[in-house]
Amino acid sequence: MSNDEPRPWLRCYRCWSQELEVQVHYEGIHRIDPETGERAEVVDELQEAVVQCLDCMHDQPHLAFVGGRVDRIEDRWERMVAGTPWVASCTVSVDAEDVETCSGPEAGDALSYAAFGEHGTREFFTHVRFHKHEEDTIVVHLLVELYARSAEEAGEVLMEAARGALAITSLAEESRPPAATGGGGGH
């Protein structure tokens, strides 16, 4: 992509703001040259980055920080920027051992992660309505908001993300949040 080509994906998928920032976390282990005191060799390094909207504070899972610049993630950006929100009422049956905790303040995130992995805590807006224990299985009942271009795509995204048996009881298209209707680069 050339530098002067429009980047319709370089915006918040939720409110369409172009006021984004990248938060980069870096950890590294480096050997030191005993003669110069400078870094001699990288033993291990880890870089994590999250792109976030400064206006609505939502993470942008359709964007990644690669090679010093923000770029789109091909299999997500069109669905999240060009799509509309869909709300699903569903259950996911997961192995009880995959649930970190099912009580206390962290329970919602733990159950969402058990049901949908990273999608459940980063890409989808999830609300755990309740859960129930059935022997070695936990059935998590959720309301999930996700972005997709059609009902079929929304169902496929949920199926691919589910970390257990998924049952969708309802799926309805919502309208985009009001800030998104302004066109260009509005907030």
Please check whether residue 11 is in contact with residue 70, taking contact to mean a CB–CB distance below 8 angstroms: no
Quick one: residue 114, left, alpha or beta (phi over 0 = left, psi -120 to 50 = alpha)?
alpha
> Can you give the pLDDT at residue 127?
94
Q: Where are the domains of the chain?
A: 20-80, 83-173
- pTM for the full model? 0.72
Q: pLDDT at position 186, please?
A: 38
Task: List the Cα angle 172/82/143 in 5-degree steps.
Answer: 30
pLDDT along the chain (187 residues), means of 10: 64 87 86 88 82 89 87 86 92 95 92 93 90 95 94 96 97 75 42
Show Cβ contacts of residue 2 under 8 Å, excluding neighbours closer than 6 positions: none
Nearest by Cα to 83 from 184, 160, 154, 5: 154
Under CATH, what is the fold of the domain 83-173?
Answer: Alpha-Beta Plaits (3.30.70)
Residue of 68, 64, 24 whose CA lies nearest to 47: 24
